[in-house]
Homo-oligomer: A and B are copies of this chain.
Amino acid sequence: MRPRKANSREKILAAAADVAREAGPGSLSLEAVASRAGVSKGGLLYNFPTKAKLMQGLVESYLRDFQKALEARAAGARHESVLSAYIKLSADDCERPKPPASWMFSAIAEDPDFLTPIKAFKHQLLERLKEETSDLGSLLVCFLAIEGMRSMNLFDSDVLSEDEHKLLVASLLKIAG
């Protein structure tokens, strides 16, 4: 029996991320994703009429999830700054073993403009952080350092040891105040 109205979109998105991570971003083909998602190629194309739409879906779901996680953290401890929440969230996100979002490379290869929403999101986040601090210099250092953490995670470059990672996070929280 074929599962009717089983939310294929989510399965497909997850499968795409899996394929990009395991087979490499260059091997993210529609067939591979469909097969991984337990869906036929036609089924995939029904949900995402084009490869570009699939990438777009990946970007949007990524941003949505991140936003939700950040909001949850910020609401969970209202006495601390959003910057602290962002630092801690990113520290957790980059804890190994964490699946890096390799699909991003596929998206960039497909069309570099897929970065635009992400860029906009980051800009927006930075603006929000600026509002809650008076020390712009420290904020920038923290913001960029987090960016560095995330990028290392994305590139799967675990240059830092576990201890160094913890020390870094502690230092950032101290700078953030």
A144 and B168 within 8 A (CB) = yes
What CA separation (Å) do A89 and B168 show in the bound complex? 22
Could you say how many copies of this chain the assembly holds? 2
Across-interface contacts of A82 in B (CB, < 8 A): none
Interface range, A side: 35 or more
Classify the interface of chain A: helix, strand, loop or mixed: helix
Kindly state the separation between the CA atoms of A138 and B140 in the bound complex, as whole angstroms. Answer: 15
Contacts of A172 in B (CB 8 A): 141
A77 on the interface (CB 8 Å rule)? no
- Contact surface of A with B, Cβ cutoff 8 Å: 24-26, 102, 105-106, 108-112, 115, 118-119, 122-123, 126, 136-138, 140-141, 143-152, 155-157, 159-160, 164, 167-168, 170-172, 174-175
Given A147-B147, A147-B149, 20 additional A-B pairs, CB 8 A: A24-B111, A25-B108, A108-B155, A109-B109, A115-B157, A119-B157, A119-B159, A122-B157, A136-B167, A137-B170, A137-B174, A138-B171, A140-B160, A140-B167, A141-B141, A144-B152, A145-B145, A148-B148, A148-B150, A151-B151
